[in-house]
Structure 1
Amino acid sequence: MAAAAGPVLDAGFPDKDWWPLTFLGIAMVLLAQRGRRAGTAFLIGFVAGEAFYLVHVSWTALYLGPVPWVALSTFEALFWGAGGVLISLAYRWVPRAFPTLLGRLGLVPVVVAGLWILREYVTGTWPYGGFSWGRVAESQSTSPFAPLVAWLGISGVGFAMVWLVAFAVELAIAADLPGVQRWLLAGVAVSLVLAIPAWPATTHGSTRIAAVQGNGPAGYFDNAPVGAVFNAQVAETLKITDQKVDMVVWPEGSALPDPTREPSYASILDALSRKMGAPFVVGTITYRGGDYYNTSLLWKAGRGAVDFYDKKHPVPFGEYVPDRAFWRPFAPSLIDLIGRDYTPGTRDNVFAVDGVRAGISICFDIVDDQLLTDMMHGGAQIILAQTNNADFGETDENQQQLAIARLRAIESGRSLVNISTVGSSQIIGPDGRTIASTPPFRPGHMIAEVPLGTTTTPATLLSRGIEILVMGLGLFGLMVASASRREPSPAPRRALR
């Protein structure tokens, strides 16, 4: 059951996007964990995690082969194994400590859901900044549960999902509960969650944005000539130079070589910015003080780069190799492919673009909850999510990332421009609806009046506090149950006749 749960869970995510299957997958994992001792609980959790990630991140093997794919899946599965031990202990200890029906229905689901989110938190933060890809709430970008993200954040919605499933499991096995009451309680639980109205994402004014997808040869192994991606971006931008816009957005790594160091490329950006009468937000690679950075530039004609943001969450083993001397002996040919290490940035992730405050997210930044909080604290009215999906081809990766971006728009109450070198590129409203899009793997552009957000959602107001609360409920509940659980009484001896 644990092995089958992995593909079922994945089917709830894009591109299949059969979101109800996520709930079924969670139920299969929880049912497999019930009644296990520590050793088998770890094995069950590990198998479920391995089966899930081998399917979910299979795109990592597209160009690099099976080693990084299997290594990443196996490493993440270890956390699933450890989380499985805690969940199995909760299933054993909480009913012993609180053996009433209220304890089983009221406490067990809360503790189990909290421990599930604790595991997601650990995998998303450790080591080297973690890997937050594959949290269960990330499957719900097009489901009726998506509006909850504005209230609870991604971790809070994940908690609600696992709680609902765990509650349903307890209802199903509660032998002392009549069938009618089971269905009634299940219906009430689902209704309580879905009855929460969508957050009123208020906006004030708009800005006209052009986002350009050049579809240049941006892949690591494309062996493209210098400037090929830049030239593709320029060619597509020239089609819209007669349009009146307030800003033009290019993807991650689109302005290479670095226009701050190459006068010819700077002059082209200057000419485009002057002709369109608008600043450009472009991605490049900068080299400063002996370090490389994945950088977004705010470029204005005649002034050059007036602001910049360096990616704060470069991908470990993708954009840099942490502890290179330690890891290189395990796979020297793969490690040596990463010839330069990007340094995490330290600057704020908000640009002031002619009176509009734009939050900047570069590719993997989009999965980092703290970076969303930072840009909201910086007064961001819109989010510009620049990315490069060329290395993953026509796999699920770009759709998975777009789903996360859509949830971020809803979570923050901000319109979001997801612009990729090759797709999938969309402009998404603060309610999660698609304002504009361009087909993947074709040159294209999007021009739209994008609403400016003014609201502060509960999710961004409370930020990581929601995550800490639900994790605390799980850990505290498990510790209390451990301290107060009642050992089963020994069976009475038969009297001798």
Structure 2
Amino acid sequence: MESLSDGRERWRTRPRLSADTAAGLLASARWRGVLAVVLGALPALAFPAPSLWWFAYVALVPWILLARSAPTGRRAAIDGWLGGLGFMVAVHHWLLPSLHVFTLLIAALLGLLWAPWGWLVRHLLGGVASPWRTAAALVVLPSGWLMVELARSWEGLGGPWGLLGSSQWEVGPALRLASVGGVWLISALVVTVNTCVAVLVVAWAARTPGTSRSAAARTIPAAAGLVAVATVTTSAWAWAPHPEPAGKIRVAVVQPGVIDGSGSADKRFAREEALTRDLAGRDLDLVVWGESSVGYDLAERPDVARRIAVLSQEVGADILVNVDARRSDQQGIFKSSVLVGPNGPTGDRYDKMRLVPFGEYVPARSLLGWATSVGKAAGEDRRRGERPVVMDVGDGLKVGPLVCFESAFPDMSRHLTNEGAQLLLAQSSTSSFQSSWAPEQHASLAALRAAETGRPMVHATLTGVSAVYGADGERVGAPLGTSASTTATYDIPLAKGVTPYVRLGDWPVHAALAVLAVLCAAEGVRSLRGPAKGRFRRPAPEPQGPHARTAHGSQAHPWH
């Protein structure tokens, strides 16, 4: 009978399934592309509505393991592209009913941004990665990911919706990091953790009696990386200045809810009017309506302007409305935040500057105008505003308005804060996507903008989700869901002071550019010196076959 010690020895020396072999079994030539799409889509579960924020720290690991197992750099780039396609479709899947097949086309084009990232994964982690290449991967892969996020953050490519760091909108330590380096710093650290976990998984799967020391050496950079992430997060928590209290204001949000049928603009206005009138006597400083809350140019409809002014008199506060209408001077259709006081419009108006591609204009309409025939793309291009505006409300309160998708852009709220805004406002509408993840995803962005700038932010919508966040990014009061047709009053603490992010800007992105420049220089030197002398050589294949030898001379098992 086999002794207990013999059994333990057999278990210790049993054939082990390496990470690359497992990936190879799962990803045959026929199914590898499909698997890449599915694995790339996994991080979407970390965003609202699922909001599995903790999943973001391991969601990239399967994708990384797949790309590192690619037989060639070209195949790894394809894995990166298809994974990016899967991610973009998953994060923007709620656009499918509006743009149909065009959503897949856009996702396929944007997915190409991840092709270099997939190549980098294999270049640095493929084969038996040395400690040096592993250490480089912990810096280069997050930097490469930031370049992808930076490129797709351009308005013309859809804007910064679904940045990986945005998934941490309800995590206190992450919000503190946002005050130091914006959403970019959070994204970089999330990718770093994923890379560390992937390295540890590979090292664990590669363990054999003869390679334990080698595998342990390769895990040192990964362990050090996890320690570094914990240190950075702890340091930010302790060092980053907390918002300094600067009084309180009382703001009401008016959410009319879904209005269907003909004459919806008139019905919506009547509902907003009735809800606002009920706010009388609450000692308000400001009332905020959602995006497209007024469907008429106030200069052309002075009767509507007078009705809003009467409401301002009744509630004792200015009202910030949003006008979605053709200007009386025939300049075109603008989306404008307009402040109305007891005497009518105050003259403070902000015209939306960054428009939603296909939703509010069609890029290169002469070429892509056919999108209007297969989906709900804009039939007429909206006009752009020229500059951001900080408005004076009541007793010297300065507010910085943004319209809808502009709340996704960190630079816009940062600019308004530098211009003196004490309160950030986003007027939004996601009524076309009521039963999707979009309303909750959109509302969550305000938490990041508040934490980055150290200024509270109000996210007011027509149909939910409306929410308010304090200067530290923490929620103030209860949000208004997509089924609500009501008002809510919020006592919002103001703050003063300047966060490191407002002062220093997008420094994580600049650091990532520097890292990639150093990598390119190192690769250039390597190519000049010859592959045998360079530090970052082509990934060495892992031992294969029953008689292969490891770096320590021990025999490798075919399932190693």
Fold similarity call, TM over 0.5: yes
Give the Å deviation of 1:339: 2.4
Distance 1:230 1:90, change over 3 A: farther
Unaligned runs of 5+ in 1: 492-497
TM-score, normalising length from structure 1?
Answer: 0.89
Aligned partner of 2:412 in structure 1 is: 371
CA deviations on 1:348-367 (whole Å, 9 max, x unpaired) are 23212121111111111011
Match of 2:498 among 434, 456, 467: 456
TM-score, normalising length from structure 2?
Answer: 0.79
1:284 aligns with 2:318: no
1:412 aligns with 2:450: no
Aligned partner of 1:430 in structure 2 is: 471
Aligned partner of 1:209 in structure 2 is: 251
Greater shift, 379-388 or 17-26, is seen at 17-26
CA deviations on 1:53-99 (whole Å, 9 max, x unpaired) are 2222111123x26223322322222222344234444557997xxx6
* Letter matched to residue 408 of structure 2: V
Structure 1 distance, partners of 2:330, 2:469, is 37
Match of 2:61 among 4, 24, 27: 27
Q: Secondary structure at the match of 2:235?
A: coil
Q: Secondary structure at the match of 2:248?
A: strand
CA deviations on 1:227-252 (whole Å, 9 max, x unpaired) are 22211211211221222111111111
Aligned partner of 2:170 in structure 1 is: 142
Structure 2 distance, partners of 1:474, 1:131, is 23
Structure 1 distance, partners of 2:307, 2:101, is 42
Q: Secondary structure at the match of 1:217?
A: coil
Aligned partner of 2:87 in structure 1 is: 52
For 1:61-72, list aligned pairs within 5 A. Answer: 61-62=96-97, 64=98, 66-72=100-106
8 Å CA contact 2:392, 2:398 repeated in 1? yes
Structure 1 distance, partners of 2:270, 2:122, is 56
8 Å CA contact 2:362, 2:377 repeated in 1? no
* Letter matched to residue 107 of structure 1: A
Match of 1:477 among 510, 516, 519: 519
Aligned partner of 2:141 in structure 1 is: 112
For 1:87-486, list aligned pairs within 5 A. Answer: 87-91=121-125, 101=131, 103-125=132-154, 128=156, 130-143=158-171, 144-173=173-202, 176=214, 178=216, 185=224, 188-198=227-237, 199=240, 200-217=242-259, 223-286=262-325, 287=327, 288=329, 290-329=331-370, 331-334=371-374, 338-354=378-394, 355-436=396-477, 437-484=479-526
Unaligned runs of 5+ in 2: 1-34, 204-212, 541-560
CA deviations on 1:77-126 (whole Å, 9 max, x unpaired) are 2222344234444557997xxx6x3x234322111110110011111116
Greater shift, 478-487 or 438-447, is seen at 478-487
Distance 1:15 1:435, change over 3 A: same
Structure 2 distance, partners of 1:362, 1:94, is 50
The number of residues matched between the two structures is 480
* Letter matched to residue 57 of structure 1: H
Structure 1 distance, partners of 2:158, 2:93, is 18
Q: Secondary structure at the match of 1:283?
A: strand
8 Å CA contact 1:410, 1:431 repeated in 2? yes
Structure 2 distance, partners of 1:243, 1:61, is 42
Structure 2 distance, partners of 1:125, 1:58, is 20
Q: Secondary structure at the match of 2:347?
A: strand
Greater shift, 248-257 or 27-36, is seen at 27-36
8 Å CA contact 2:124, 2:133 repeated in 1? no
Give the Å deviation of 1:163: 1.9
Structure 2 distance, partners of 1:342, 1:378, is 26
Aligned sequence identity (%) = 24
CA deviations on 1:360-404 (whole Å, 9 max, x unpaired) are 111110111221221112111111111001011121001111121
Distance 1:270 1:19, change over 3 A: same
8 Å CA contact 2:100, 2:374 repeated in 1? no
Distance 1:59 1:421, change over 3 A: same
Aligned partner of 1:495 in structure 2 is: none
* Letter matched to residue 167 of structure 2: S
Greater shift, 229-238 or 112-121, is seen at 229-238
Give the Å deviation of 1:433: 2.0
* Letter matched to residue 351 of structure 1: M
* Letter matched to residue 159 of structure 2: F
Distance 1:332 1:394, change over 3 A: closer
Structure 2 distance, partners of 1:155, 1:94, is 31
Aligned partner of 2:531 in structure 1 is: 487
Distance 1:441 1:336, change over 3 A: closer
Q: Secondary structure at the match of 2:392?
A: strand
Distance 1:479 1:105, change over 3 A: same
* Letter matched to residue 278 of structure 1: A
